[in-house]
């Protein structure tokens, strides 16, 4: 692994199974969890102190029960609307901790929930073993190969910054706080997606701890169906503890934003109509979105934006500067309240959308649209307008370009023919932010665009409310869902990983659900008491 610039956040640990770099992806007996312990009690029995004490002996991170100090903080996340009641919380420090925890959950008959930043939780973790991977922050860059290896807890911001040190860019999205691994396993829509394609297409390999506590290196060659399923099926098949992601040479781009007053539905309809027409003829080097934000009246904001409902056009251009400037000329003539535009470092893509860093209670929904027609324009203007209150941020992102091309490494959960992504985030605060009021606004919006919708995008769906099986399934084509359910039946027939955008395992008559031997050389450890 020479040539890698390491940014390991882990201390060397002399305990059995520790001190093995998580980035090696090779069979190494020293990385196996110790045989013979800890075992959970019989299925259905309550957790006993001795069981947790034994688990604590083998896990380097914290193992916490509901009455322990720090229990709630262990899984507090970005979305403060979530109220979790797991049976216990385990803070994993590496792959060995994950395998030990999953073996314990298997022997105990516990379901498993995975947590990191808390952006994408889809279902409550009530009664589960909640596994927090945020401490798994090893990161290495191989600048010659243009590859980064990322631990399960690494935020996208760190990946972008590490890549930039070598003149490279990662296919990160609009938030630097989200975990890169979870983002990529949901498809991963980059800000520069029309040039770079989906993040999941750039995943070369991943390390997966299965529900029965085996550790696998998964590639397109070792297990094509599992590799396809995990990059889009998220945490339905186990815990991805690390992945390899391709980087691209990019140091700077041109970008910024234009803010427009948008206090009436008529003005909103005018702006979205203009945006739809403008995006219809753009080169793939132009990336953009239009979001309506009801800004609060606070001194931290520039005076032109305080307390106003504003349409924010976000733009990023990877072509020649003069050509990008010419493409924006028409928008400058529409009387923006504020304009920012210039050459930016590649790391700045995650700041263009100006997404807040502070936790908040929210829920969201999405629709991949085949086009933006008059019905979409009207529905957008109503949902984002003054009649809907001030609890919603409604956005349309331009897709196409590389996002529409057939993938060299295909994966499920995106509709490549979609021209735009419509999303609505509802902040569950204040008189306009009750679940009933916000649900009604989102319901009217997505009902009105149903004729143009090709399905949901998983990373833009969910939040404060538990996601139903039907909503989770709407992220996939029927044929994709059937394949995913077959893989789920092979890896997790008991659906232990169900506290998520859940894919239910196929029944015995719905496809190949039998056990398959793992490809030679892909398993680190064997399934036994501890499975490692």
Residue 450 has pLDDT above 50, yes or no: yes
Strand partners, 366: 423
Q: What phi and psi, each to the nearest 5 degrees, are found at residue 520?
A: -55, 135
* pLDDT score of 509: 56
Secondary structure tally for the chain: helices H, strands E: 14, 21
Instruction: Provide the CATH number for the domain around residue 152.
Output: 3.30.465.10
Whether residue 271 is found in the same domain as residue 352: yes
**pLDDT tens digits, 242-294:** 999 999 999 999 999 999 999 999 999 999 999 999 999 999 999 999 999 99
Last residue of a domain, one of 249, 272, 306: 249
Exposed, middle or buried by CB within 10 Å (0-12, 13-18, 19+), for 2?
A: exposed
Residue 514: inside a domain: no
Closest alpha carbon to 391 in 345, 351, 440: 440
How far apart are the C-alpha atoms of 51 and 47, rounded to whole Å? 7
* pLDDT score of 513: 38
Biggest distance spanned by C-alpha atoms of the chain? 72
* pLDDT score of 519: 32
Residue 410: inside a domain: yes
Whether residue 233 is found in the same domain as residue 299: no
Residue 527: inside a domain: no
Rg (CA), the chain: 23
Mean pLDDT for 366-379 is 98
Exposed, middle or buried by CB within 10 Å (0-12, 13-18, 19+), for 74?
A: buried
Whether residue 258 is found in the same domain as residue 381: yes
Last residue of a domain, one of 441, 465, 489: 465
Which distant-in-sequence residues (6+ apart) come within 8 Å of 35 by Cβ? Answer: 528, 529, 530
pTM for the predicted model, two decimal places: 0.87
Number of domains in the chain: 2
Could you tell me if 532 and 213 are in contact, meaning their C-beta atoms sit under 8 angstroms apart? yes
Residue 17 has pLDDT above 70, yes or no: no
Its domain, for residue 227, covers: 139-249
């Amino acid at each position: 692994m020479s040539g890698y610039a390491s940014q390991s956040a882990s201390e060397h640990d002399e305990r059995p199974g520790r001190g093995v770099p998580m980035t090696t992806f090779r069979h190494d007996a020293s990385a196996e969890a110790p045989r013979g312990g800890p075992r959970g009690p019989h299925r259905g029995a309550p957790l006993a102190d001795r069981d947790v004490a034994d688990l604590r002996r083998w896990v380097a991170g914290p193992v916490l029960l509901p009455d322990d100090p720090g229990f709630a903080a262990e899984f507090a996340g970005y979305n403060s609307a979530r109220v979790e009641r797991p049976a216990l919380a385990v803070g994993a420090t590496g792959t060995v901790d994950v395998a030990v925890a999953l073996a314990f959950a298997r022997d105990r008959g516990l379901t498993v929930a995975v947590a990191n930043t808390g952006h994408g939780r889809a279902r409550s973790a009530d009664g589960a073993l909640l596994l927090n991977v945020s401490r798994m922050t090893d990161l290495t860059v191989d600048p010659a190969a243009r590859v980064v290896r990322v631990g399960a807890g690494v935020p996208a911001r760190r990946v972008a910054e590490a890549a930039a040190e070598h003149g490279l860019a990662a296919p990160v999205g609009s938030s630097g706080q989200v975990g890169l691994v979870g983002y990529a396993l949901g498809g991963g829509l980059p800000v520069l997606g029309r040039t770079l394609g989906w993040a999941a297409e750039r995943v070369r390999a991943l390390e997966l701890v299965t529900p029965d506590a085996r550790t696998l290196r998964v590639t397109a060659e070792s297990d094509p169906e599992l590799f396809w399923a995990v990059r889009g099926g998220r945490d339905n098949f186990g815990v991805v503890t690390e992945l390899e992601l391709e980087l691209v040479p990019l140091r700077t781009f041109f970008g910024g934003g234009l803010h427009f007053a948008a206090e009436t539905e008529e003005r909103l309809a005018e702006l979205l109509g203009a945006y739809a027409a403008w995006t219809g003829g753009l080169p793939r080097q132009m990336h953009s979105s239009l979001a309506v934000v009801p800004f609060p009246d606070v001194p931290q904001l520039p005076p032109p934006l305080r307390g106003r409902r504003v349409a924010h056009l976000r733009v990023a251009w990877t072509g020649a500067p003069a050509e990008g400037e010419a493409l924006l000329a028409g928008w400058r003539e529409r009387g923006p309240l504020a304009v920012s535009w210039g050459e930016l470092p590649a790391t700045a893509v995650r700041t263009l959308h100006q997404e807040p860093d502070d936790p908040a209670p929210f829920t969201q929904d999405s629709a991949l649209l085949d086009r933006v027609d008059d019905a979409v324009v009207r529905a957008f203007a109503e949902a984002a307008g003054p009649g809907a209150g001030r609890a919603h941020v409604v956005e349309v992102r331009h897709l196409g370009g590389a996002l529409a091309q057939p993938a060299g490494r295909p994966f499920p959960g995106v509709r490549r023919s979609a021209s735009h992504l419509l999303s609505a985030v509802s902040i569950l605060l204040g008189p306009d932010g009750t679940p009933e009021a916000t649900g009604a606004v989102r319901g009217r919006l997505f009902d009105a665009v149903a004729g143009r919708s090709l399905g949901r995008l998983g990373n833009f769906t969910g939040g404060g409310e538990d996601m139903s099986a039907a909503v989770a399934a709407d992220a996939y084509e029927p044929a994709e869902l059937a394949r995913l359910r077959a893989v789920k039946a092979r890896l997790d027939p008991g659906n232990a990983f169900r506290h998520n955008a859940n894919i239910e395992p196929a029944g015995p008559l719905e496809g190949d659900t039998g056990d398959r031997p793992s490809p030679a050389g892909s398993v680190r450890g064997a399934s036994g008491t501890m499975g490692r």
